[in-house]
Amino acid sequence: MSLELASEVGNVVLQAGEAGGPALSELGAAAIAVGLAAFGAGYSQRAIGAAAVGAMAENEDLFARGLILTVLPETLVILALLVVILLL
């Protein structure tokens, strides 16, 4: 599956190369950067969210603290956005 995808991507890159421009436009690269940052944030939120819900299940007063800790990794996405905006 992933191999097929890789060769597919290779074809696309080759075709783009024939046309003369870079394989990835600046906008495309920026999109990938934000996407990867968001993926990282999501991955870390999986664990934090699970732990926060667990803590809330035991003690409802922890809702605010759990929420803050859960959204902390969002700063990653904000940073990525910032970098992209500065570069574009």
Residues that bind another protein in the complex, under the rule CB under 8 A: 47-48, 50-55, 57-59
User: Which tokens is 12 given?
Assistant: 């696309």
Residue 59 or 75: the one with the smaller Cβ distance to another protein is 59
CB of 71 to another protein, least distance (A): 16
Q: Is 30:84 a contact under the CB 8 Å cutoff? A: yes
Residue 34 or 56: the one with the smaller Cβ distance to another protein is 56
CB of 55 to another protein, least distance (A): 4
CB of 37 to another protein, least distance (A): 22
- List, in order, residues 6 or more apart from 41 with CB less than 8 Å away: 73, 74, 76, 77
